[in-house]
Amino acid sequence: MSGAVSYELIRSGRRTLALEVTADCRVVVRAPRRVSQKRIDAFVSANGDWIEKHLNLQRRRRESRPEPTEEEREAYIRLAKEVLPAKTAQYGDRMGLHPAGVSITGARTRFGSCSGKNRICFSWRLMRYPEEAIDYVVVHELAHILHKDHGPAFYDCVARVLPDWRDRRALLKE
């Protein structure tokens, strides 16, 4: 990688240096409070090839899946409000698991989440993916009602409903 890399620095109580390339192509360095600027710059420089690779990956992702227009976004939101609660009820009945509520959000970094109080949130952005992938996210979040982690029991719960969950999850990464 040529030239100096521009990056955002976040200092905290952490013990190690870490790099992140965000979906909007920003380079973020997380560092312990007491690490010198010289050491941080050396760390960034030493990882230049990794940064370049991940910047290119994020650029390709953005090009292959551009932000929808306002009209498209509204259509996805309407579709999500119609489809996702119904799928959640359908799979919930099948699994014997029922969330305290279902919400639709505009989250960019995750397709779904399940709170400690068993409220499930889905991003409307999920509607841009195949139905098999949507079903996986619904079952995944329902499984979190029983299992708050991603341990073997969690994936056993998912596999009982969707034996091909790995293939379905892979669709979300395309």
All domains in the chain, ordered by first residue: 8-64 (no CATH), 70-171 (3.30.2010.10)
Mark the ranges of the chain whose per-residue pLDDT is less than 70: 1-3
Calculate what percentage of the chain has a pLDDT beyond 90: 86
Q: Token pair for residue 144? A: 């979190």
First-to-final CA distance of the chain: 26
Per-residue model confidence (pLDDT) at position 3:
61
The pLDDT, as a whole number, for residue 66 is: 78
Give pLDDT, residue 133. Answer: 97
pLDDT at 104: 97
Q: Which long-range contacts (CB under 8 A, 24 or more apart) does 122-126 make?
A: 122/80, 122/84, 123/80, 124/73, 124/76, 124/77, 124/79, 124/80, 125/76, 126/80, 126/84
pLDDT tens readout for residues 39-52: 999 999 999 999 99
> In 3-state terms, what secondary structure has residue 36?
coil
Say how many C-beta atoms besides its own lie within 10 A of residue 116's C-beta.
7
